[in-house]
Amino acid sequence: MDEKVNYWIDLSEYDLEPAEAMLQSKRFLYVGFMCHQTIEKAFKAYFTCLKSDVAPYSHSLSYLAKKGGFYELFSEEQKDFIDQIEPLNIEARYPSHKERLLKGLTESKCVEIIEKTKEIQKWIKEKL
């Protein structure tokens, strides 16, 4: 893998650790945010690898995957998860609906989010 791909993978791995720390401290809104960041950076690594180009400046997971040409490679379950986690990036930064989000982000839901994030991250790394 080249230097730019490694850069994004390293950041992706780094962002997963705070997601797990936020789970332990019960900061559930930030679990979703950091998992989004983890996946976003893995997608940017894969985009860079596939396209030999700089990844788009976007936080949209579906946009990055579609622009990179790998969205259709995901299972329906993975696509559903991408759609589910997509808004957590914005909502964590601008928590206008914080209370509503927190009701859905239980500890068990956050464990599930972390596990699915790890699965997608692993999937990307295997493709590299």
CB 37 within 8 A of CB 64: no
Model pLDDT, residue 52: 87
pLDDT tens, 30-86?
899 999 999 999 999 999 999 988 898 999 999 999 999 999 999 999 999 999 898
Residue 71's nearest CA partner among 88, 83, 53 is 83
Would the pLDDT of 9 be above 80? yes
Cα gap 70→109, rounded to integer Å? 26
pTM of the complete model: 0.90
Nearest C-alpha neighbor of 28 from the set 102, 94, 91, 80 = 102
Tell me how crowded residue 48 is: count the other CB atoms within 10 A of its CB: 23
Q: Are 85 and 35 in contact (CB under 8 A)?
A: yes
pLDDT digit string, tens, across residues 19-33: 999 999 999 988 999
What tokens were used for 101? 């989000």
pLDDT over 60 (residue 110): yes
Q: How many CB atoms lie within 10 A of CB 56?
A: 15
